[in-house]
Structure 1
Amino acid sequence: MPIDHRRGAGIATWFHDPTPITNQLTDTPYVTIDDSLQLRSSSTFGQELPPRPHPGRAEGRLDALLVASWVAPRTTRIGLIPTVTTTHTEPFHVATALQTLDHISLGRAGWQLRFSAGSAEAAAFGRRSAPEIDLDAVLAGRPDAGLDGLIDDAADAAEVARRLWDSWESDAIIRDVANGRFLDRDRLHHIDFASERLSVIGPSIVPGSPQGQLPITLLAHSAHIFALAARTADVVFITPENDAPGTGASRGKNAAQLMAEVRAAEAVEDRAATGLAPLRIVADLVVGLDTATEPGSARLRRLDDLLETPSSGDARIVAGSAEELADLIAGWHEAGVEGVRLRPLALPDDLERISSDLLPSIRARIPELPAGDGIGVRLRDRFGLPPAINRYTRAREERVA
């Protein structure tokens, strides 16, 4: 499985869940799978990546959604959250592909939404030019027309997906063979979405999936993206205590500061009116653990020497013992962070040590961390999200009432 710690793929530990199904959650309830429309050596706004390809670095990626679709029927416990970019793709196709993944996984699918600002990606598709973005304005938190346009497009894509996922009500399929009725046309809906960029009639070509609404997640470094998360997402990944340039506007801020910014953005939106629960906040951390023969710091230096550049990304990199990392994570938990996404520095070594060494250390410091094998638990449940209520069913019931 391709995991790139620079761009937000990893496994996650969920600290707590306010719903009654806590005992069904697992230490590792989901895995995120990274993807992008650009090569790893390409640069984009808000990040400083190596300016040219390097023989020690894999340039390409396997398609995250296809990887998740392959993994889904071969697993029973773990949630699957592929990254799917919306800028140059059709929201209808994205929505139906993710619905299909939810069916295959029996309700364990999610979506990490990403948009693309690069000129190389725009040229490759040839459908639209890349916007001009003032990076200084973005980092300072000022409005930027180019970025605002990308954010609006991403919000439109998410809204289209959510409407398509609702376009089949749960009782739309009749299967009345005797009378030749297989669908209830009153339970199948055109979404009739129109914006400056998109026009989608619907309905979806995929029947309603197990979760109804898949959890939408976002990796966010700035007030602009916090606002997008508050507008469209269920889960936001933050990157506290990182001084690297790749962290963008979050650079140098602690967990409490970033959480306050997320909640401030959330307060502006009437999420309840759109059927969204309070945002779940998860902190990202790149993990390089000590081994029996080599400290994590030495392993990190070897990686730096191999790539001929210091390791740096959009999340804090911590190399050390499981106890040191567990203390850091417990501190974030005390600050109110609801979960942590652990990005292994190297595979498979750090992934194995996260399971064998780090998770037991976290559990010792956070005894309320739930146990259980998680079989059959849907991803919405693992984030503590309430069951999704179909907007069309709700509207009909309100009319009847």
Structure 2
Amino acid sequence: MTTPSRPLHLAVALDATGWHPGAPAPDGNSYGPDHWTALVQEAERGLLDFVTLEDPPRRPATGPLPHRLDALLLAAALAGRTEHIGLVPTGVLDRAQPLHIARAVATLDHLTGGRAGWRTQVTPARPIPLDALFTPEVQRPMAELFERAADLVRVVRALWDGTADEKELRTLAPGRFAPADPDPHGSFAALGPLGGDAGDWLTLDGPALAPPAPQGHPVVFTLAHISLPFRYGARAADVVSVTPHSAAEAAATVAEIRSFQDTAGRSAETVHVFADLVVLLDPEPGRAAARKTALDAAHGTEYTSDAEIFTGTPAELADLLLHWQRSGLSGYRLRPATLPHDLTAITRALVPELQSRGAFRTAYEAGTLRGLLGLA
């Protein structure tokens, strides 16, 4: 058996009842603290690096639950119920102001003792038809949206460093953080630059700044599908998760992100590239595929995803993860199709399989999320 050259990093994405929209609601109050505590403690039992908590503003929750909890408040509630695992709530950047984000995420880092992250998500307020996605009329405002997001992260990092001089902060992102889109129901292609002037900035107030975060910078995570978010992630994030459907596609994506990283002047920094996978896991061959067929029938249509959907045994998934790792990936964010079934299959079957191959940790080796990920 070949021992991997470097251990894998593993995270899970927790969303409502699971990522398959036909997933049944678990017993009990799925919005209550006991439900979420059990899920995150199970992920911690499996020695996973971190969990992400979904909070998209417009995509409906999957499964039978029509609503979502606020991800940042949920992470804060879980801080005292966990000890080692990273907590990474989602924050949508489109209308965010850097002072508010910097303070909230730094506060979470204090509550967790250095285990906080921030899943940055760019979600256009106006709908984009798929057949128009790559047209110049849509790519221009999309590029502007990601440029603004990168500027926002740059300013947030400066605030985490303790910068309180407004002139210095404005120099990092001149003309940014203007009022929200005045016509969110208009055409996306007709959207003008999301800039403004210096007067659009919120005035800094010393007491409004959080004390320095235990990690220095909480971990910045993003999910990316195409070149514009690849470039954003290479410029702004510590972990970029992508959605390849083959090892060859993973290798090409990693190469593109590394090229953007070099252009951004970050070649000396560690920027992890993860892959997202939706997983249905069962020990008996064929059982996971049969379970997906039953979930599709309950949902009324076949479930498809932006990410690869894996159905199989833990050993088969371990084979795939290690094979794709040779494409340059350093980890995976797994999306359990149903909760808690596929989460426990990850922690109690996949993790031991990877450990037996020398591919995953057998104990937490650091007290902060940056430490677990090997980030400076």
- Coarse TM-score class (shorter-chain normalised): 0.7 to 0.9
Deviations 1:36-71 (CA, angstroms, capped at 9, x unpaired): 111427xxxxxxxxxxxx9x5433211111111000
Q: Paired residue for 1:68, among 75, 78, 84?
A: 75
The aligned counterpart of 1:369 is 360
- Determine if the alignment matches structure 1 residue 87 to structure 2 residue 94: yes
After superposition, residues 40-189 of structure 1 pair within 5 angstroms as: 40=60, 57-119=64-126, 135-136=130-131, 138-139=133-134, 144-167=139-162, 189=165
State the distance in 2 between where 1:138 and 1:264 align. Answer: 23
Maintained 8 Å contact 2:155/2:169: no
Q: Does residue 342 of structure 2 align to residue 350 of structure 1? A: yes
Q: Which moved more, 1:330-339 or 1:316-325?
A: 330-339
Q: Does residue 209 of structure 2 align to residue 219 of structure 1?
A: no
Q: Provide, for residues 111-133 of structure 1, a one-character-per-residue CA deviation record: whole Å limited to 9, x for no partner.
A: 110012133xxxxxxxxxx7xx5
Q: 1:385 to 1:217 in 2, by over 3 A?
A: same
Whole-Å separation in 2 of the counterparts to 1:298 and 1:140: 40
Q: 1:157-306 alignment to 2 at 5 Å?
A: 157-167=152-162, 189-190=165-166, 191-193=168-170, 194-198=173-177, 199-200=201-202, 202=204, 205-241=209-245, 254-271=249-266, 277-291=269-283, 295-306=287-298
Aligned mate of 1:379, from 348, 369, 376: 369
TM-score, normalization by structure 2: 0.75
Contact 1:287 1:344 in 2 (8 A): yes
- Secondary structure at the counterpart of residue 284 of structure 1: strand
Q: Is the 1:28–1:78 contact (alpha carbons within 8 Å) kept by the matching residues of 2?
A: yes
Q: Distance in 2 between matches of 1:312 and 1:58?
A: 19
Distance (Å, rounded) in 1 between the aligned partners of 2:93 and 2:252: 29
How many residues were matched structurally?
312
State the partner residue of 1:31: 51
**TM-score (normalised: structure 1):** 0.71
CA RMSD of aligned residues (A): 2.9
Indicate conservation of the 8 Å contact 1:289/1:296, yes or no.
yes
| 1:5 pairs with 2:19 | yes
Taking the aligned partners of 1:364 and 1:335, their CA distance within structure 2 comes to 22
1:142 deviates by 9.7
Counterpart amino acid of residue 90 in structure 1: Q
What is the percent sequence identity of the aligned residues?
35
Three-state SS of the structure 1 residue aligned to 2:297 is helix
Q: Residue 95 and residue 270 in structure 1: after superposition, are their counterparts in 2 closer, same or farther (change >3 A)?
A: same
Task: Name the amino acid aligned to 2:344.
Answer: E
- Stretches of 4+ aligned residues off by more than 4 angstroms: 133-143, 188-191, 291-294
Distance 1:268 1:83 in 2: 27
Give the secondary structure class of the aligned counterpart of 1:152: helix
CA–CA distance in structure 2, aligned partners of residues 143 and 271 of structure 1: 28
1: CA distance, partners of 2:165 / 2:175: 22
What is the one-letter code of the residue matched to 2:116?
A: A
| Mapped partners of 1:293, 1:220: distance in 2 | 32
